[in-house]
Structure 1
Amino acid sequence: MFLKLIIRIKIRFGIDYTIERSNLLQPLAFRMRPRSLTEVVGQQHLIGPGKIIWRMVQAHMLSSMILYGPPGTGKTSIASAIAGSTKYALRTLNAATDTKKDLQVVAEEAKLSGTVILLLDEIHRLDKTKQDFLLPHLENGRIILIGATTENPYITINPAIRSRTQIFEVKPLTTNDMIQAIDRAVTDRERGLGKMNLALTAEAKQQLILTANGDLRSALNGLELAARSTAPSDDGVIHLTTEVITDSLQKRQITGDKNGDAHYDVISAFQKSIRGSDTDAALHYLARLIEMGDLPIIARRLMVIAYEDVGLANPPACERTVLAVQAAQQLGFPEARIPLANAVIELCLSPKSNSAISAIDAASARLAKGNYGTIPNYLKDAHYKGATKLGHGTEYRYPHDYPEDWIRQQYLPDPIKQDQYYHPKTNGKFEVAYGRQYLQLLKAQRGKS
């Protein structure tokens, strides 16, 4: 409590307390945060010469913004670089864990110093109380808000905040971006690991990049763990091999939690890959979903895909998909991956038809227009006493009483009696047969050619 009070008093008088903390207490990724835009790796579409954030900084005309993209790609780095380039104080809070009182401290500092940059992490978790407090300070420009999130702000962030900010997407880092940042951390003697006499092999560096999967924060902190946990050899050099790097990061990072925007991107790519008959891409996205451990969404999505994208072109594949899903649910992971892979491969290689979903959507669209008439009397329920007095069912012709169990008879209401919603496709032998039967019946029923 006492420590917190001292820190707040220092903030009130514009003192940056963060410089008092020992560098040894901060992770490598924290120490290597850029001090200017020129030190930011990647994101040249935002901070490169002549680009939008570069122009803001050059003109000292900052506006509040939301940066969104995968973890470890530079959202915090950009905020740090903007603060370093403009010499404004930078304060960091988390929308999920910090309180309204913490925001009030920043607002008080802004009143005294004129302008404060507030990096608000997980801004999509900002509740209404904090939002209502923050909005006037964004309006008067005392607080320059830089919101950071891995979620799509157009979906997860309140419109009141969105309307007062510019939204910028932070792209995944390239291999060259990662190499640049790692090399800088290895050689930097002031903030990095340059005093440690490291030898990082090319293969180990490549393994570090692959395992981090675009998350620079993870890569740098894994690199530091490897360096500090490895004893020097007889020549005084710390040799960082592929084995040491793999040990330090343990597991490739998979972007996307079960409720996050990135997760829905994987689901979308999964369905579109199957629809596009790309077996290898579909298996890749299936592996991602398996890695996330989300069996319920895999099961649901596979059944949707089966009936929406394959459908009448291969009905047995739809049935086998349901069986594969049931088997997977009974087995659980890791064995569940086997029937799931079977289903994915069959759906990818099956002929495709969306005629069923198109047909029901067309029928629903016609319904929404109204004026579709009433059900013909002879089709109405006639099981109760008095139905015949209403004329219900009296003229109905029972198809099984006629040759081939069919008789020409109108079933649609009068205003839409010529509507056609189903348009058969010819991609699979099943629908070819169904389509031929449908068109013959349609011609006989309505005299269509």
Structure 2
Amino acid sequence: MPQPLAYRMRPQRLEDVVGQQHLVGPGKIISRMVKAKMLSSMILYGPPGTGKTSIASAIAGSTKYAFRKLNAATDTKKDLQIVAEEAKMSGTVILLLDEIHRLDKVKQDFLLPHLENGRIVLIGATTENPYISVTPAIRSRTQIFEVKPLMPDDIRTAIDRALADKENGLGNQQIELGPTAKNLLATATNGDLRSALNGLELAAKSTDATDGTIHLTLPIIEECLQKKAFSHDKDGDAHYDVISAFQKSIRGSDTDAALHYLARLVTAGDLPTIARRLTVIAYEDIGLANPPAAARVVEAVTAAQRLGFPEARIPLADAVIELCLSPKSNSGIMAIDAAMADIKSGNYGDVPANLKDAHYKGAADLGHGIDYKYPHSFKNDWVKQQYLPDKIKNVQYYEPKTNGKFETALAQQYDRLRAAQHAK
């Protein structure tokens, strides 16, 4: 049985990796490792189909090292021993270890010395957060890189390559992929290139040619992806229009409109986008006006991810209704953006000497930390002292809003403390 299209199209050079330019682009960390021939073991984590295996394959192809792939859950210690023996014979082996979060202690203990001596360059792949799911022993010997969902333009690029490639792709067939069909492939798979290529290959293999050409239309791609294109345009912007309308409806407290756009995203099966967008909305638009609502959204999103569709729609709907009817405040995002704008424009100064680190020998000679007043030693655990650099000592980033009881109380406390801090 021939290998799937997604497998055949895996890149053999870093330059051919689709997306992930923050890691493999010119001058970026993995590109630098390959160029300097200073590979270190790493963990790549992110959603399925976003390029973890492709990056490992491209690293191996670019360095000409042997490349082996194992699964931490299903392959045995003996399989690891075979790789280790090969590394001993040939010098270096790049080992892609899928589901590294499921590596047991026996296999871990076998691997560690081989990572130490550099014979095996481990590239662990996982969809789980490695800071939580991977053991400290492995984490301490690897660099951790996040692999992000691919953008639609990245997937379009990969589709075009697959249609043109005569050796590994579909280039030997006369295929006409309609623009709306391509846009659905690029947007409905939620950044999962493997799913997009699998859908494309299924469509190509299961569609009869007409006058020597396989015409892949929108209905055909919908059937092969099992995803409906509820609205589309020639530029494929509708996917983002729905997401934008979803957030703006919640921000504008229109419950019925927000539920409508949620329904469109649910029907499209786009749980990753819903989860991310709801979490952003909870902190960006509701924020300090109602912090418990944000916490409940996180719980609802977690429940939805565990349930999956169709049941996931229930906690998501509850969260959307609560966010729509909640008081709103964007003071948090406005405050941090104002502070970041100062940093980017160079409007900052030196940390006051009394706040500088005083835990090393010679710090006192530099005047660091000498006049620092420990607030807990004073009444009400507060004492007046300057914390901001001299250059911006009077700046105010946080502009409180009073749309909810919680932030109203924060605003009163903020005003009291600021007045005391700046009193003459």
- TM-score, length-scaled by structure 1: 0.58
Say whether the 8 Å CA contact 2:329–2:401 is kept in structure 1.
Answer: no
Q: In the TM superposition, what are the counterparts of 1:75-90 in structure 2 within 5 Å?
A: 75-90=52-67
One-letter amino acid of the counterpart of residue 34, structure 2: V
Say whether the 8 Å CA contact 1:311–1:353 is kept in structure 2.
Answer: no
* Separation in 2, partners of 1:134, 1:100: 9
Q: CA deviation at 1:171?
A: 2.4
* CA shift in 2, pair 1:279/1:29, >3 Å: farther
Say whether the 8 Å CA contact 1:64–1:164 is kept in structure 2.
Answer: yes
Please name the residue that 1:390 is paired with.
none
Greater Rg, structure 1 or structure 2? 1
Q: In the TM superposition, what are the counterparts of 1:64-213 in structure 2 within 5 Å?
A: 64-213=41-190
Please name the residue that 1:41 is paired with.
18
> 1:180-234 deviations in whole A, cap 9, x for unaligned?
110000111110001111111111100111111111111011100000011111x
Q: In the TM superposition, what are the counterparts of 1:281-360 in structure 2 within 5 Å?
A: 341-347=320-326, 349=327
Please name the residue that 1:245 is paired with.
221
Question: Secondary structure, in 3 states, of the residue corresponding to 1:212?
Answer: coil
Q: CA deviation at 1:153?
A: 1.7
Please name the residue that 1:11 is paired with.
none
* CA shift in 2, pair 1:351/1:28, >3 Å: closer
* Separation in 2, partners of 1:245, 1:426: 48
Please name the residue that 2:365 is paired with.
none
* CA shift in 2, pair 1:293/1:240, >3 Å: closer
Say whether the 8 Å CA contact 1:65–1:146 is kept in structure 2.
Answer: yes
Question: Secondary structure, in 3 states, of the residue corresponding to 1:196?
Answer: coil
Residue 232, structure 1, aligned to residue 209, structure 2:
yes
Q: Which of residues 423, 427, 441 is equivalent to 2:402?
A: 427
Please name the residue that 2:191 is paired with.
214
Q: CA deviation at 1:426?
A: 8.2
* CA shift in 2, pair 1:434/1:104, >3 Å: closer
Question: Secondary structure, in 3 states, of the residue corresponding to 2:55?
Answer: helix
Say whether the 8 Å CA contact 2:17–2:58 is kept in structure 1.
Answer: yes
Q: CA deviation at 1:115?
A: 0.9
* CA shift in 2, pair 1:279/1:121, >3 Å: farther
* CA shift in 2, pair 1:286/1:101, >3 Å: farther
Q: Which of residues 31, 34, 54 is equivalent to 2:8?
A: 31
Question: Secondary structure, in 3 states, of the residue corresponding to 1:192?
Answer: coil
> 1:45-93 deviations in whole A, cap 9, x for unaligned?
2222222222222222211111112221111101101111111111101
- Structure 1: tracts of 5 or more residues without a match: 1-23, 253-272, 322-331, 355-368, 372-414, 417-424, 436-449
Say whether the 8 Å CA contact 1:352–1:427 is kept in structure 2.
Answer: no
Say whether the 8 Å CA contact 1:352–1:428 is kept in structure 2.
Answer: no
Q: CA deviation at 1:117?
A: 0.6
Question: Secondary structure, in 3 states, of the residue corresponding to 2:188?
Answer: helix
* Separation in 2, partners of 1:433, 1:31: 59
Say whether the 8 Å CA contact 1:110–1:116 is kept in structure 2.
Answer: yes
One-letter amino acid of the counterpart of residue 86, structure 1: T
Say whether the 8 Å CA contact 2:34–2:59 is kept in structure 1.
Answer: yes
* CA shift in 2, pair 1:142/1:286, >3 Å: farther
* CA shift in 2, pair 1:288/1:153, >3 Å: farther
| Larger CA deviation: 30-39 vs 94-103 | 94-103
Q: CA deviation at 1:433?
A: 12
Question: Secondary structure, in 3 states, of the residue corresponding to 1:190?
Answer: coil
* CA shift in 2, pair 1:433/1:196, >3 Å: closer
Say whether the 8 Å CA contact 1:211–1:246 is kept in structure 2.
Answer: no
* Separation in 1, partners of 2:110, 2:179: 51
- TM-score, length-scaled by structure 2: 0.61
Say whether the 8 Å CA contact 2:290–2:404 is kept in structure 1.
Answer: no
Aligned residue pairs total: 307
* CA shift in 2, pair 1:90/1:282, >3 Å: farther
Please name the residue that 1:421 is paired with.
none
RMSD of the TM alignment (CA)?
4.4
- Structure 2: tracts of 5 or more residues without a match: 229-246, 298-310, 333-374, 381-399, 411-424
Question: Secondary structure, in 3 states, of the residue corresponding to 1:195?
Answer: coil
Say whether the 8 Å CA contact 1:174–1:214 is kept in structure 2.
Answer: yes
One-letter amino acid of the counterpart of residue 8, structure 2: R
One-letter amino acid of the counterpart of residue 342, structure 1: I
Q: Runs of at least 4 residues of structure 1 off by over 3 A?
A: 276-294, 307-312, 332-342, 349-354, 428-435
* Separation in 2, partners of 1:220, 1:113: 34
